[in-house]
Copies of this chain bind each other. A is one copy, B any other.
Amino acid sequence: MRWDGWGDPAKATGKLPGGVKLLLTAVLGHRPRRAEQIALADVELTTPPLDAADVRALAAAVGAEHVRTDHEARVLHAGGKSTPDLARRRARTQAAPGAVVLPGSEAGVATVLRVAAERGLAVVPFGGGTAVTGGLAPDAGEHRAAISLDLRRLAGLERLDDVSGEATFWAGTRAPAAEAALAEHGFELGHFPQSFEFASLGGFAAMRSSGQNSAGYGRFDAMVTGLRVVTPTGTLDLGRAPGSAAGPDLLRLFLGSEGAFGVITQVRLRVHELPAERFLDAFTFPDFRSGADALRHVVQAGTGPTVIRLSDEAETAVSLAQVGSIGKALAKGCTAVVLHEGPAELARARRAATTAVLTAAGGRPASRALAESWEHGRFDGPYLRDTLLEHGVFAETLETATTWSNLHVLRTAVTEALASGLGAAGAKHRVLCHVSHVYPTGASLYFTVVAGLTGDLAAAWEPVKARVNDAIMTAGGTISHHHGVGTDHAPWLRHELGEHGARLLRAMKNELDPAGIMNPGTLLTRT
């Protein structure tokens, strides 16, 4: 992965598609130009490497070759991949963990936590490194230093129960490796968030990830049937039965725990047979409101699409521009993309049922090219974001969710907060929005912002984001639908959970991690 951008350097062309360049010029009022770039070696780290005694103690736990204090390893574990993260990293000075520790077994993880607690080191678990809400910040809290606990060596398919459709993976397994291992046996997990190419299964669980196929296969939460978690005070093995009334479901406490309670080492997942058939379709709607209503009718009727998503007018225009249809991009309308999968007859029946509902709700079939373009480019958003950043253009995403009846209120509140925040910063901007995850009672809203911010981009964005977060709270949304809390959202989580909810979360952390070494500042603000 790139140190100063998303993913595969080979895919990072640094070139802006022509249509996007035109749109940007129209939105920002000037032609974007390539900005100066620095090299990894030029990054100045503001935190020292771990001292020799600490390194020796950790080396005794996992082997000397698995404790890294070199510049490259530290920079690569210095945070996540949000736009502010990358803007900070490109600004030359950067905090980094004192060392990167790579345990090769669950016992090794437990030993590292013991050593860290004894020596007063904070531990930041690191999966695929794709976090975008600050949860990978190398924050030592009240401790001497922070170490990054990289789980890449704890990887692979441990067990497949092909009768029950359950697969047990080590937490550091990257999503593509997991799908490849399952495909050998004719199975699929079917979890495809935008971070798919790099993220780890343990990360999905820790962050309560949700993928693009969530309509069909559910959030990652719904896929998890078991977890093993190493905490500073003991190891938990949770998820005994597919359905249970054996007290509260403690497994759910660790979905969304973001490394603040311990380290997820193993994930047991519901998998399904590779679908025999798939149908990809596009529909257009006169406006966002009628499109959202149509999606609501589909999910409430339960017709069973695997993917169903709706782009607003602005996002539809950009999508059309990206496929070169500038003319159509100027027309009004919203595009929905729908995918149906499964055994052939069932997939066909589901598609027919969804089509009937969408059509009855005012949808009209649209060119399949739009759906194919979405599918083709669905993991490429972050590369475009990087290219924009290299041209000095700020682009970021944020997301929330609410009930169907509150959806437009929330969308308006976020849009207005962005407009007023960016207006206060004197930045021209464009906001795109889509619905990508639907539930019987509500849906997510995913916003993409392109803004003419200048100077210190991370600093310029912070007050805008704070304004948006306040607006989400006031308008009844959740602080995150699938990006998580990290350090960025922690002050708002307290609001979302209420005083007593926050207290309960703190009590659980105190029980499992009494020394407070696990990912300080994530989830819980220091009080």
A interface with B by C-beta (< 8 Å) = 161, 163-166, 207-210, 214, 219, 221, 225, 231, 233-238, 240-250, 252-258, 270, 272-273, 296, 300-304, 342-343, 345-346, 349, 352-353, 356, 400-406, 437, 439-444, 476-485, 489, 493, 496-501, 503-505, 507-508, 510-512, 523
A481 touches B243 (CB 8 A): yes
Known contacts A241-B400, A401-B244, A503-B511; is-contact A236 B498 (Cβ 8 Å): yes
A397 to B50, CA, bound (A): 60
Known contacts A441-B166, A497-B250; is-contact A481 B244 (Cβ 8 Å): yes
Residues of B contacting A353 with CB < 8 Å? 345-346, 349
A257–chain B nearest beta-carbon distance, Å: 6
Known contacts A161-B405, A273-B300, A442-B243; is-contact A250 B346 (Cβ 8 Å): no
**A234-B500, A245-B481, A345-B353 provided; 6 other pairs, C-beta below 8 A?**
A240-B477, A241-B401, A245-B483, A247-B493, A248-B505, A270-B440
Residues of B contacting A234 with CB < 8 Å? 499-500, 503
Residues of B contacting A242 with CB < 8 Å? 401-403, 439-443
Residues of B contacting A500 with CB < 8 Å? 231, 233-236, 512
Residues of B contacting A356 with CB < 8 Å? 345
B501 touches A511 (CB 8 A): no
Residues of B contacting A246 with CB < 8 Å? 256, 478-480, 485, 489, 493, 496-497
Known contacts A252-B248, A504-B250, A511-B503; is-contact A241 B440 (Cβ 8 Å): no
B247 touches A441 (CB 8 A): no
A134–chain B nearest beta-carbon distance, Å: 14
B441 touches A164 (CB 8 A): yes
Most buried by B among A242, A406, A476: A242
- Oligomeric state, in copies: 2
B253 touches A258 (CB 8 A): no
A166 touches B248 (CB 8 A): no
A480–chain B nearest beta-carbon distance, Å: 5
**Interchain CB contact (< 8 A) of A163 among B225, B257, B352, B404:** B404
B245 touches A480 (CB 8 A): yes
Residues of B contacting A496 with CB < 8 Å? 240, 246
Residues of B contacting A402 with CB < 8 Å? 241-242
A508–chain B nearest beta-carbon distance, Å: 7
Known contacts A249-B255, A304-B302, A441-B225; is-contact A480 B165 (Cβ 8 Å): no
B403 touches A164 (CB 8 A): yes
Listed by A's residue number, 29 A-B pairs whose Cβ atoms lie within 8 Å are A165-B440, A165-B441, A214-B243, A219-B243, A236-B500, A237-B498, A238-B501, A240-B478, A241-B401, A241-B403, A241-B478, A242-B401, A242-B442, A245-B485, A247-B493, A247-B523, A249-B252, A250-B504, A250-B505, A273-B300, A301-B343, A301-B346, A302-B304, A302-B346, A345-B353, A346-B353, A504-B508, A504-B512, A507-B511
